[in-house]
Chain A
């Protein structure tokens, strides 16, 4: 109770509430604009939060992170264009519902399912926190190294059909992180004698280039996509009643979202595909899926929105981000001198609880905002895409230049922008670069410190958590190898 009171005190400040409000409302608007998304917005706003108090900056960015998928459902349902990439499945059910005149029903269902998924996930997070606070101190250097290694492996394996490319990009990220002065022997690595490379490649510069500037280029080179959506008449609260009818699907999808969110490298896509498949397989009307099934819509939106809070678990407890957005959040934590990891749960548990409460408050804010302003948001969908590209490019300058007023940073970000643009043209995986950079740095530090106390290779896994993580890594790799072998064997048999 004392902990809760302390957490409420952290949040009960006008600037924190304002940041939450701006972040959550801004996140919905950004999510509703096709082609922008939370990653671009967080990348741009990240440096702007440096001058703010840690909890204020984090609240604003958490707001964007937690609310963008709500907004992304609007164009997905009304104009068959997902606002954010993870709303793609919503189009399968939302658009047919709109076409048969049920747009209000679809939006209402999406909002209520999203709200349910997010709150379910936050409640799980709060219930799990005593367990996390108990387990987190058991994570020493070698456990964190193994967890980060597992994260890299899962990120690569999660890119089905592109595993080799994802591995290549993860390697690129690991290499990028090593550029500059290393702090053990104080030697330069891959600086090619250039002093401007001595400080290394800043994660934020890479993130801004790969996510924001590249997206600006994508939008600027394409022709304008103008969309028009009919205004919605009537209330949007009825979705909660319908959600209660499909409570089994909602509960299962929320659970999938929480489980997949907690595993580094997996995230929203896997969560929603698992939920959608489960909902279809267990439905009394599986033939309605893809033709405007409310169950499909609930499965997709609940799972999506359950992921962000769950993804905070490995980030807060171990300091290991599971995907690009949490990697950016990690940068925010570091900048504000809040070091996620076991120590955070031991020494600043009130801060952790404040983050949970902030997530809860922002979901309420978003729901209230959406209930009253959906028709206003329809105007956002109508903004020409090239105009948005122009805004993203101009805003990217603020993000990069305000870091250290360096034109070289801007040139590097622009270079990564072109690289990201080409990768996006070819649908190549970008996220492993960011996770390779972040997790590569963690692995390097933790392996060095853990090897000081290790005499033989067996010592490395002589603690229960380390052994368990090692076992999971072996199982993941072995099951993937087995899957490859089975696929190879079946294709050989079909060729005969």
Chain B
């Protein structure tokens, strides 16, 4: 396990990731005075600035030490790794689109559409696979919204439904 951990800093791209993180930490350190308050004559540990400073200093200190130690490691850069990151970004967009559509179309319709469309995007084409994806969406809604009554608001389209059906849809789906 230790060997695997040591090798993790030798993988292509990892040093760049760490360097970007350290740059972010340095940016946070540069903003410490502007983004936190220092109360004159107050005790050090009671300063609002004290704990953010500890967090950011740990990030910068350990990060710079890691870069200094890994400086000579010739891990290089693998464009394939960026392609994998971009593929993950695609699913982030899918997720955020799902988040945006739920309040409009409602949880039931959006979830079934989301799981089925995502299964299609994943390359599943058979009726059985797509049906299983739709069933997965339906089950999630039935368990969480209908069964456990988790707080997910009804869709805006439910407003077009009449009386009892509208209430039923808002409460259960």
Interface residues of A, Cβ cutoff 8 Å to B = 47-48, 51-52, 159-162, 164-165, 167-168, 170-178, 182, 184-185, 187-192, 213, 216-217, 220-221, 269, 273, 386-387, 390-391, 393-398, 401-402, 404-405, 407, 410-411, 414, 417-418, 421-422, 425-428, 436, 440, 443-444, 447-448, 451
Contact = CB atoms under 8 A, between A and B. Distances in A.
Interface in B1-60: 1-6, 8-9, 11, 13-14, 17-18, 21-22, 25, 28, 31, 35-37, 39, 43, 45-46, 48-52, 54-59
B108 interface: no
B91 A185 contact: no
Given A444-B51, A451-B46, A168 B91 contact: no
Contacts of B95: 213, 393, 396-397, 410, 414, 417
- Counting chain B residues whose Cβ lies within 8 A of the other chain, the interface size class is 35 or more
Interface string B84-107: 110111011011101110100000
A148 to B, nearest CB: 12
A189 B14 contact: no
24 contacts: A48-B148, A159-B5, A161-B1, A162-B5, A164-B65, A164-B66, A165-B18, A171-B54, A173-B55, A175-B55, A189-B37, A217-B88, A220-B122, A387-B124, A387-B133, A395-B140, A396-B95, A397-B102, A411-B96, A414-B96, A422-B88, A425-B85, A427-B11, A444-B51
Given A220-B122, A394-B114, A414-B96, 6 more contacts: A168-B21, A171-B25, A172-B25, A390-B133, A428-B17, A448-B46
Given A390-B136, A393-B118, A428-B8, A178 B55 contact: yes
Nearest to A221: B87
A164 B69 contact: yes
Report whether over half of chain B's contact residues are helix, strand or loop; otherwise say mixed. helix
A427 B51 contact: no
Of B5, B48, B91, which is in contact with the most chain A CB atoms at under 10 Å from its CB?
B91
Nearest to B66: A164
Contact of B55 (A174, A213, A391): A174
A170 B58 contact: yes
Given A164-B62, A213-B95, A185 B136 contact: no
Nearest to B8: A427
B151 interface: yes
Given A221-B88, A414-B92, A390 B153 contact: no
Contact of B59 (A172, A221, A391, A448): A172
